[in-house]
Structures are given as structure tokens and as C-alpha cells.
Amino acid sequence: MATPPDDETLLLDLNQAFYRAFAGRDAEQMATIWAKAAPVCCIHPGWPPLFGRDAVLEGWRRILQNPAQPPLEMLAPRVTLWGDVALVTCFERVEGQYLIASNLFVREGKGWKLSHHQAGPVATPPPGGASNDETDPDLDDLDDMDDDDEDDDDDLPPGSGTIH
Amino acid sequence: MATPPDDETLLLDLNQAFYRAFAGRDAEQMATIWAKAAPVCCIHPGWPPLFGRDAVLEGWRRILQNPAQPPLEMLAPRVTLWGDVALVTCFERVEGQYLIASNLFVREGKGWKLSHHQAGPVATPPPGGASNDETDPDLDDLDDMDDDDEDDDDDLPPGSGTIH
């Protein structure tokens, strides 16, 4: 009965572990989550990109050691797979505001490692509400992640779009 | 003497083409840049993520057709390669403000196609100044993109870091 977990399950668990390391201010655990062989890059909200494992982990040490850093809640994770590279997008809730994150994982050794992270502000809460106590995502959500279905149109914000 | 262009050159050209399609408000060209077989995702600044080719291209159509959309200048592109997936990070300048973008390309057919884009505000201009007329990046920049060198520490913003 014990089948090995599939990639989506592994990636969602690892994405949770990333946010658990953040919540626990655990720099050692954070270091195990980031890739060692593959190149890494990290873009915190408002920060310029950090390139290379040393710079990325030093950035995290600063954040994790900072007593002014408010807690962060991860919501609505969603997996996209491209073979040996995978993206987990998720919302982050910080002090009642929302961020949207792209977490890019690569296969390294027997598992997956985080190789790129970008988070930035988003104007809307995650679909389905402002809070999420589930550890597993909605399966329907995973099933249609790479569909070209028309339903996705409701993801579009109201009004005409602008980048600024 | 005519050697085929390497992946970095191809990716930088394609990244330029993405911003050229934006500048030319060319929805058809934009559609050719995005992947057809691989799953796609796009996160515009402040927007929730768009999943699936139809939703992503519809989002672009709204932006490209919007007369209020200001022009956008791409600066300081930098390539990170993970085999068949590649990341181009770059700055975007819009109305004197800066955004930082992650553009993820996947191999599709004989070339590369855009599969994920996220852009969000950044507090600092790109390294090397506020404008960039070069079409090719600094080779030194490419050479050290996956190094763990200490020089990258100067990418860290001053003071202690916070995510908010």
C-alpha cells in the first residue's frame, strides 16, 4: 500500500518546509532546502536579485535574525512541472497584506532543491478566501494547472490591465 | 567561422524579443514567444497568477491594447541555466520606477519558449546605473552567475533585511 509520494506531493511538502524554516527562523534548515550544485537566485520583495548560494543564504540569515520580521503565512500553493524543474506558486500573507511567490525547484540528488524564489506584492487574496488551514491543495486545482481552459479567465483582475 | 549561437545568446535574444513585442504592442509576436506544449504561468505586478496559455495571452492582450499602458525599458538581463530550463532575470523601467522580472524559458522544439514570468517592484536601479544601451550583457556578469563568490554580497541591500 505504501507507494512512494509523487512529485507534486514531494514539492508541496518541500514548499511547506521552506515556509516552516522561515517561521522557525531556522537558518540551518533553510540552507538544506536551497540547491547546492545548481545555481540559485533569490528576489525578496523590493530587493534586487541575489545570485549564488552564499549571497542567498546571507540574505536569509539577515531576515531570520531580524526581530522586526513579521510572521508569514503560506496559502494556496500550486505546482507546475517541467520535467526536472518545477514551479510552486503560492500566496504569502504578512501583516494582513498579500505577496505572491514563485518558488522554483530543481532535481538534485534523490530529491528536489529550491533554486529560485521571487516574491512581490499582490492586490488580491488567494482564490477561495483569505485563510487556508489545509496542508494539501485542492486536487481539482492541481488537475487543471496546465489546462488551457476558459475557467482561468476568472483569474484576470477586473478592468483593463496595466503594468506599472 | 559561423558557429551556432550558444544558449545564453539565444536566451538573451529571446528575452529582448519578449520586450520588443511589448514595446510594439504586438499580441501576435507575444503569442509566438510563449510555450505551446509546456504549462505556462504569468504574474504581472500586483496581479494574481494567470495559469494556462489562454489566460496568459488574454492578460497580455488587455495590457497591449490598453492606451494607458506606459512604455517599459528592459535593463541588465542575466541568464541562469538548469539544463532544459533557463531563467533570465532583468530589471524593467516604467515611468522612472523599477521592476525586477524573472523570465523562465523552457526548451520547446528547436528553441526556447517563455513558460513563466513574474515581475514586481524593486527599490533600487540595476547595478551599473539607471540606463543600459547594450544589447549584450557584460560577460563578466555571465561568467560569475553561478559562483558562490563573496562579491555577490554587494547585491545585498543596506541594513537588516525584512520581508513585508
Helix (H, G, I), strand (E, B) or coil at B99: strand
Write the DSSP assignment of A57-104 as a string of letters.
Answer: HHHHHHHHH-TTPPPEEEEEEEEEEETTEEEEEEEEEETTEEEEEEEE
A79 touching B (Cβ < 8 Å): no
pLDDT tens digits for B18-64?
999 999 999 999 999 999 999 999 999 999 999 999 999 999 999 99
B7 touching A (Cβ < 8 Å): no
pLDDT tens digits for B98-118?
999 999 999 998 899 999 999
Q: Write down the pLDDT at residue B9.
A: 97
Contact check, Cβ <8 Å, B87/A106? no
Cα separation, B44 vs B42, whole angstroms = 6
Give ipTM to 2 decimals: 0.82
Cα separation, A34 vs B149, whole angstroms = 16
Percent of chain A topping pLDDT 90 = 73
Chain B nearest CA to A120, separation (Å) = 5
Chain A nearest CA to B147, separation (Å) = 6
- Residue B163 pLDDT class (50, 70, 90 cuts): confident
- Mean pLDDT confidence for A88-102: 97
CA atoms within 13 Å, Cβ hemisphere of B14: 27
Burial tier of A99 (Cβ tally within 10 Å: 0-12, 13-18, 19+)? buried
Q: Is the pLDDT of residue A110 over 70?
A: yes
Which grid cell sits at B85?
530550463
Element (H, E) at A50: strand A50-51
Q: What is the mean pLDDT of chain A?
A: 84
Nearest to A37 by CA among B22, B82, B62, B155: B82
Cα separation, B48 vs A127, whole angstroms = 9
B148 touching A (Cβ < 8 Å): yes
Question: Which amino acid type is present at position B62?
Answer: R
pLDDT tens digits for A49-85?
999 999 999 999 999 999 999 999 999 999 999 999 9
Contact check, Cβ <8 Å, A155/B49? yes
Which grid cell sits at A38?
545548481
Cα separation, B150 vs B1, whole angstroms = 37
pTM listed for this prediction = 0.83
Q: Is the pLDDT of residue B149 over 60?
A: no
- Residue B137 pLDDT class (50, 70, 90 cuts): very low
- Residue A5 pLDDT class (50, 70, 90 cuts): confident
What DSSP state is assigned to residue A147?
-
Contact check, Cβ <8 Å, A55/B83? no
Output phi, psi for A162, to 5 deg. -140, 145
| Residue B1: other Cβ atoms inside 10 A | 2
Contact B91, B45 (CB under 8 A): no
Q: Which of A106, A147, A150 sits opposite B82 (nearest CB)?
A: A106
Output phi, psi for B153, to 5 deg. -60, -25
B143 touching A (Cβ < 8 Å): no
pLDDT tens digits for B119-135?
999 999 998 765 544 33
- Chain B hits for A59, CB-CB cut-off 8 Å, are 156, 161
B82 touching A (Cβ < 8 Å): yes
User: Do you know the residue count of chain A?
Assistant: 164
What DSSP state is assigned to residue A6?
P
- Mean pLDDT confidence for A103-131: 91
Cα separation, A132 vs A11, whole angstroms = 18
Q: Is the pLDDT of residue A147 over 70?
A: no
